[in-house]
Amino acid sequence: MQLKNKTALITGSSRGVGQQIALGLAGEGCDIIVHARNIDHCQEMLEKLKSYDVKTYSVAGDLSQESGVKHLIEQVDNLSVPVDILYNNAGIMVAYKEDIWSHTTEDFMQSYQVNVVAPYKLCAAFVPAMIDRGYGRVVNLTSRIDGIPELAPYGATKWAIDKLSMDLATKLQDTNVRLNYLDPTWLKTDMGGDQALNEVEAVLPGALEPVLIDNDGPNGQFFQALKN
């Protein structure tokens, strides 16, 4: 699937995994909408993208707040460019709790807002237009974290995004929009830490696989950036 002249919105793309995904898509000729919580944080990424022959835009919004999600959607709408690819990369992991019974309601609610509710709201904002235009790709970032109750809020949200992705995909089966979910695996990022097994650059090219599929390709399926 050729991506030249397509436009991709990648949440949390000013650094880390999101930055790598944005660079990878730009390498495929895709125009990029960079997102960060603060618009100033997009500047470094916009500089990196200058070496690619693509159009670039920047938007901001705090996905932990409903108002921030709405603000992000409004900014994208004001760009008057179609969102052909939505890569829901942004996510949070609240503090590791040795006492597994000490996770607070706020820990869970904040995690669900950023990791599940915000991706759903962004899908709701942009997928209907993808259907109407006859093309769209959505990728939701997940994780195969398992057996670590010290990170229970994070783990629970990643199981939730799997189920949400599968359910939403059932409504897209007869369209040219494909919605899938991807585990970038454990990478050296601010979230993954220095003990991670792989450098963040290792997320490519695997993270592009669910975007490069054909219109009749996988839908509601799990992808993994690294196969080893």
| pLDDT tens across the length of the chain (228 residues) | 789 999 999 999 999 999 999 999 999 999 999 999 999 999 999 999 999 999 999 999 999 999 999 999 999 999 999 999 999 999 999 999 999 999 999 999 999 999 999 999 999 999 999 999 999 999 999 999 999 999 999 999 999 999 999 999 999 999 999 999 999 977 666 666 677 577 888 898 999 999 999 999 999 999 999 976
Tokens (6 digits) for 201:
């650059």
For domain 7-224, the CATH class is: alpha beta
pTM of the model: 0.95
Question: How many whole angstroms from its chain centre is CA 185?
Answer: 14
Contact between residue 219 and residue 169 where contact means Cβ atoms under 8 Å apart: yes
* H helix or E strand, kind and range, residue 178: strand 177-183
CA–CA separation, 54 and 179 (whole Å) = 24
